[in-house]
């Protein structure tokens, strides 16, 4: 009798526990299926830049941190992008790139709790007959989004990680041309002078140029007035792509600055740098760009020049007015002295 009671109690307990476990599992699966609320991720590194060898598999770690307030069930997948003729990045979150077939993920789908970091192992098994460079994006987004309810918009967030791969193999050509080197105006009243350095990657590998824009009076001056960086942000140029890098000469006496308001709107403000009073830009200048890239053996320089004028006409006009006023004052003063002297002499005679 007692045994029977114990058996019944054991069955009830088992069923109860199973039910609770089932409910937990169901509630968990619901949460996994329908991510709602905010979406907040941090990824590192970004971008992912690699040099790989053909016929070899290389693994890298990608850190994904959930900076949101809820557990996220995520997936990662390669997607295509290209840079068009207008230097715009055209992103395609549907198209899978050709190289996806030799990319594998340690966890193509994964779950990250709030505040946690997931380390995703990405393996690139580069085929022996691989090309010279590849560029694509790894897109991380929710496995499932909550179904739309009622009227309005459903928002789906994704984070993309641009991945640039150079293949270290014979036949790789690193070649960069300077397509254009221009200033935004030919005559300026004050700084900044803005330069566009347009490069075209005519090789088959991804290139990261560097160098300087030298501001000088003549083309062959040994000591520049100012030295500006080319590609300060360490940008990359993909094969066959043209990219315009910007440099700006702004260490003068009068400099216009772009000021951004809290609401995001911008306006120009003129500032006066009294430390540069002795270096008021005036006259004709030559900007000489010496950009370099490494061809695998050595630095290869590319040189271009552009001339421009800086005429601070308002400053000069103000100076002229001051000089005229001082001159007129002096002249009046001298004349009055002469007049008094003449009167004095006349009085004495």
Partner 1 sequence: MQHLRSGLRNIKTTRLAAAAFLVFSLVLPILSHSLAYAADLTQSSVRFDRMQTSTATTGTICAKPATVATEADVQVVFPTGYTLGTAANFTVNTTNLAWPTGGTAWPSIATATNVTSQTVTFPSGDLTVGTLYCFNWANTAAVSIKSSASSSNTGTITTRTSVPANIDTASYSTASVTSDQIAVSATVPSTFSFALSASTDALGTLATGSVVTSPTPRTATVSTNAKNGWMVWAKDANTGLNSTSASSTLASTTPGTNSTLVAGTVGYNTGITTTQAGGSGSITVAAPFVGTATGQGGGLDTSLRALASSNGTADTAVMTIKNNVAISVTSAAASDYADTLTIIGAGLF
Minimum distance from residue 279 beta carbon to partner 1 (Å): 17
Residue 37 or 55 with smaller CB distance to partner 1: 37
Question: And the tokens for 341?
Answer: 């002297």
Contact by Cβ (8 Å): 105, 113 = no
Question: Strands 299-310 and 187-188, how do they pair?
Answer: parallel
Residue 63 or 314 with smaller CB distance to partner 1: 63
Minimum distance from residue 47 beta carbon to partner 1 (Å): 4
Residue 233 or 345 with smaller CB distance to partner 1: 233
Residue 117 or 334 with smaller CB distance to partner 1: 117
Q: 31 CB contacts (<8 Å, ≥6 apart)?
A: 70, 71
Contact by Cβ (8 Å): 194, 315 = no
Dihedral sign for Cα 54, 118, 236, 95, please: positive
Contact by Cβ (8 Å): 239, 204 = yes
Contact by Cβ (8 Å): 167, 173 = no
Minimum distance from residue 138 beta carbon to partner 1 (Å): 10
Q: Residue 105's beta-bridge partner residues?
A: 122
Minimum distance from residue 280 beta carbon to partner 1 (Å): 23
Residue 243 or 312 with smaller CB distance to partner 1: 243
d(C-alpha 349, C-alpha 338), whole Å: 16
Minimum distance from residue 292 beta carbon to partner 1 (Å): 5
């Amino acid at each position: 009798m007692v045994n029977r009671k114990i058996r019944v109690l054991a069955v009830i307990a088992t069923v109860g526990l199973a039910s609770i476990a089932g409910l937990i599992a169901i509630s968990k699966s619901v949460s996994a299926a329908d991510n709602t609320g905010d979406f907040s991720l941090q990824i590192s590194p970004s971008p992912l830049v690699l040099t790989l060898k053909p016929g070899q598999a290389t693994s890298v770690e990608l850190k994904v941190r959930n900076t949101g307030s809820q557990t996220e069930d995520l997936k990662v997948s390669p997607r295509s992008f290209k840079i068009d003729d207008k230097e715009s990045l055209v992103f395609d979150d549907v198209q899978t790139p050709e190289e996806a077939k030799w990319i594998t993920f340690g966890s193509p789908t994964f779950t990250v709790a709030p505040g946690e970091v997931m380390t995703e192992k990405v393996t690139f098994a580069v085929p022996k007959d691989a090309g010279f460079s590849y560029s694509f994006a790894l897109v991380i987004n929710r496995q499932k989004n909550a179904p739309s309810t009622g009227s309005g918009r459903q928002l789906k967030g994704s984070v993309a990680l641009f991945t640039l791969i150079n293949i270290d193999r014979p036949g790789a050509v690193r070649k960069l041309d300077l397509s254009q080197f221009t200033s935004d105006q030919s005559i300026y009243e004050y700084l900044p002078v803005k330069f566009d350095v347009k490069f075209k990657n005519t090789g088959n590998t991804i290139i990261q140029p560097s160098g300087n824009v030298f501001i000088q009076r003549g083309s062959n001056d040994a000591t520049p007035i100012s030295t500006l960086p080319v590609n300060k942000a360490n940008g990359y140029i993909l094969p066959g792509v043209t990219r315009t890098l910007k440099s700006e000469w702004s260490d003068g006496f009068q400099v216009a600055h772009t000021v951004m308001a809290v609401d995001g709107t911008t306006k120009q403000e003129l500032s006066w740098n009294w430390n540069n009073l002795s270096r008021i830009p005036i006259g004709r200048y030559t900007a000489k760009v010496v950009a370099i890239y490494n061809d695998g053996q050595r630095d290869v320089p590319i040189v271009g020049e552009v001339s421009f004028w800086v005429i601070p006409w308002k400053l000069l006009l103000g100076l002229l007015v001051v000089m005229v006023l001082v001159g007129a004052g002096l002249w009046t003063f001298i004349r009055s002295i002469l007049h008094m002297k003449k009167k004095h002499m006349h009085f004495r005679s």
